[in-house]
Amino acid sequence: METLTQDRPKLGVLGTGTMGSALGSLWARRGYPVVFGSRSPERASAVAASAGPTASGGTYRDAAAHGDVLILPTLWEHTEEVIRQAGSLEGKVLLDCSNPEGSDGHTLMVGHTDSGAENVARWAAGARVVKAFNHVYAEIVNTDPVFGAESASVLYCGDDPDAKAIVARMGMECGFDMIDAGPLVNARLLEPAAALMVQLVRVMGLGPGNVALKLLRR
Ligand SMILES: NC(=O)c1ccc[n+]([C@@H]2O[C@H](COP(=O)([O-])OP(=O)(O)OC[C@H]3O[C@@H](n4cnc5c(N)ncnc54)[C@H](OP(=O)(O)O)[C@@H]3O)[C@@H](O)[C@H]2O)c1
């Protein structure tokens, strides 16, 4: 499989919700060429206009055609349909930050013996899926991953080493502490971590801009 060698791969963002806007804008601010795709190309253009001069808007298919790296920031119930509308994702790095959440926002619809990311890999034939940023709140992406002397960890997993290296480099460039959490099957563990974060933020009241996971190492 070909490795992307350019410093700033072309990005396609498959949705303009809270997380899609946050992640796409994060890299657009660093000069990545970003196409935001949406059901509403007008909304995508508006998000792109505030993201910076290297960003533009279009349909899901436009974003998928543009990007070497695609970001999948969809609500679970729409994920398969968005992938279908995006067209062929063969060979694309697919950064899956979504979670298979139920409508209550914290019940996982898939788990233990399967994961959202593994479903995504089955739906997006030939894509190089990397689960990443699913447990990081958009408010952290929009502000600062640094907490005092530490930076927020992003645990990521996938089966394609080159794809994982690309995502890790993109995250490190933005100040995140990128942690390789193994093969894609470990998304079964990372998706419940996101559900835990939702509990901490929404139920325990810690606030989305104030908390992030940190893996301590020595
Ligand atoms: N918000 C966070 O802080 C955060 C953090 C980590 C992970 N996530 C994950 O990211 C995913 C999106 O969360 P979000 O908070 O960004 O949600 P959101 O603001 O409600 O965004 C919904 C996303 O789904 C897309 N979508 C496609 N078809 C849709 C339809 N028929 N109805 C509604 N939306 C549709 C939207 O794209 P268009 O409207 O542009 O077509 C948009 O990108 C979830 O899986 C969540 O677990 C969120």
pLDDT 10s digits, 153-188: 999 999 999 999 999 999 999 999 999 999 999 999
pLDDT at 3 (0 to 100): 46
Is there a contact between 134 and 146 (Cβ–Cβ < 8 Å)? no
Q: How far is the CA of 18 from the centre of ligand 1 (A)?
A: 6
Residue with the nearest Cα to atom 25 of ligand 1? Answer: 74
pLDDT at 7 (0 to 100): 78
Q: How far is the CA of 173 from the centre of ligand 1 (A)?
A: 24
**Pairwise CA distance, residues 74 & 18, whole Å:** 10
Residue with the nearest Cα to atom 18 of ligand 1? Answer: 17
Does ligand 1 lie within 6 Å of residue 200's CB atom?
A: no
Does ligand 1 lie within 6 Å of residue 98's CB atom?
A: yes
- Assigned token pair, 214: 């940190």
Q: How far is the CA of 44 from the centre of ligand 1 (A)?
A: 13
Q: How many CB atoms lie within 10 A of CB 151?
A: 18
- Assigned token pair, 153: 């960890």
Does ligand 1 lie within 6 Å of residue 38's CB atom?
A: yes
pLDDT 10s digits, 68-119: 999 999 999 999 999 999 999 999 999 999 999 998 877 899 999 999 999 9
